[in-house]
A and B are shown apart, each in its own frame.
Chain A
């Protein structure tokens, strides 16, 4: 099975003007921006797992995964952690300010191939953001999928994204949401431990499951090992990779990853296709 990238119908190098319509503080350093097209002719179509290049005028351009609902075509939503100059400038845009948007780019999560199967979503930190569109899509088409298991790990309770939604997702039919933090204070009544420790609380049916994983690369290595221990085939595990993306269309080579370009062939890859690369120190 191939993961198909969505065709880009406009010049992929030309940013389209969007306006900031809402800015929500998710954690002390992470914000969710809702952008709407500056032109009424633009419709914001994307596949879960794809990303855009966001141009902060006068500062720079950066790749950000789309974290919103793919069924809403009047907006694009991004969750951004403010860790550098460009991300800091982006989350400091005010409502009504303009941002340039290129994309969407890349290959997303295999939502069609997952139909009829149990879906295991494993997210670490801000890795939940690119997985949220997938979760929306599954929940909106609940009968098309088997069980949905969401395992989410964050650094501490204050670093958890989308807290209200996590609770709401858990109330859906055949949906299990387990959350853990690496460091819990005394007021935290939830689980403490790394995300891999959550697997023992969910009974997976490996032969009918597909897993989609996003988070820091070290975490993903441990998670894939655990998924294999649970009996999942390497062909049924998908990872979202991250590298320094610039052109986003496979020309510049900044995000080359072995024989792949993360921007064009990924960011979502089948684990079996990149397994050897994950073990290479130089990459």
Chain B
């Protein structure tokens, strides 16, 4: 049987994380499922969780009045959803919708923030990993903005 500890340790986002830190993560973690089409998080709502995606695909969307939502990116197995729990004002900036049935590990952001404040080594590990994700997604967004396939 897969334990939360093993799932977290094997998730690419936490690859190589110290066992003691993984155990601290587990105390903030739970298994969650979302049916296809349901919203996992909504812009403006309090951001108190982030997700390690284990199965399925999630669309990150921007709400546009009088238009259909715009999909900014999709996230899939092995990726993480949500970092607004890490920084004030702890509010989601985008919608996230399950495209397929999604299985994930939910990590309680408040719980994790507290543990990171208590243990700065853990905090540094977490921030480093999120910084890498942010850098990758910023680069991808810049490339996306260049609209390289458009007729110039």
Give the distance to chain A from B88, nearest Cβ to Cβ, in Å: 27
Contact with B along A192-207 (1 / 0, CB 8 A): 1110110011000000
Interface size of A as a range = 20 to 34
A189–B149 contact, CB under 8 A?
Answer: no
CB contacts (< 8 Å) of A185 on chain B: these are 68, 71
B59–A192 contact, CB under 8 A?
Answer: yes
Complex interface: stretch among A138-146, A214-222, A242-250: A214-222
* Interface flag for B38 (CB, 8 Å): no
Give the distance to chain B from A216, nearest Cβ to Cβ, in Å: 4
CB contacts (< 8 Å) of B99 on chain A: these are 189
Nearest chain B residue, comparing its CB with the CB of A217: B148
A184–B143 contact, CB under 8 A?
Answer: no
CB contacts (< 8 Å) of A193 on chain B: these are 73-74, 140, 144
A154–B149 contact, CB under 8 A?
Answer: yes
Give the distance to chain A from B50, nearest Cβ to Cβ, in Å: 18
CB contacts (< 8 Å) of B91 on chain A: these are none
B69–A186 contact, CB under 8 A?
Answer: yes
Give the distance to chain A from B121, nearest Cβ to Cβ, in Å: 27
CB contacts (< 8 Å) of A93 on chain B: these are none
Give the distance to chain B from A214, nearest Cβ to Cβ, in Å: 12
CA distance A194 to B12 in the complex (A): 20
Please report which residues of chain A, range 53-79, place their CB below 8 angstroms from some CB of chain B when the two chains form the complex.
none
Tell me the B residues contacting A by CB distance below 8 Å: 12, 57, 59, 68-74, 76-79, 99-100, 136, 139-140, 143-144, 146-151
CB contacts (< 8 Å) of B79 on chain A: these are 200
B74–A182 contact, CB under 8 A?
Answer: no
A196–B69 contact, CB under 8 A?
Answer: no
B76–A194 contact, CB under 8 A?
Answer: no
A184–B151 contact, CB under 8 A?
Answer: no
Tell me the A residues contacting B by CB distance below 8 Å: 29, 81, 83, 124-125, 153-155, 159, 182-186, 188-194, 196-197, 200-201, 215-216, 218-219, 222
CB contacts (< 8 Å) of B78 on chain A: these are 200-201
Q: What are 27 sample pairs from A and B whose C-beta atoms fall under 8 A apart?
A: A124-B149, A125-B148, A125-B149, A154-B149, A155-B147, A155-B149, A159-B149, A182-B144, A182-B149, A184-B74, A189-B99, A189-B100, A190-B74, A191-B57, A191-B74, A192-B59, A193-B73, A193-B144, A194-B140, A196-B140, A196-B143, A200-B78, A201-B76, A215-B148, A216-B148, A216-B149, A218-B143
Nearest chain A residue, comparing its CB with the CB of B143: A194
Nearest chain B residue, comparing its CB with the CB of A189: B99
Give the distance to chain A from B146, nearest Cβ to Cβ, in Å: 6
A184–B71 contact, CB under 8 A?
Answer: yes
Nearest chain B residue, comparing its CB with the CB of A197: B140
Nearest chain A residue, comparing its CB with the CB of B146: A218
Give the distance to chain B from A149, nearest Cβ to Cβ, in Å: 16
Give the distance to chain A from B36, nearest Cβ to Cβ, in Å: 9
Give the distance to chain B from A283, nearest Cβ to Cβ, in Å: 17
CA distance A188 to B151 in the complex (A): 23
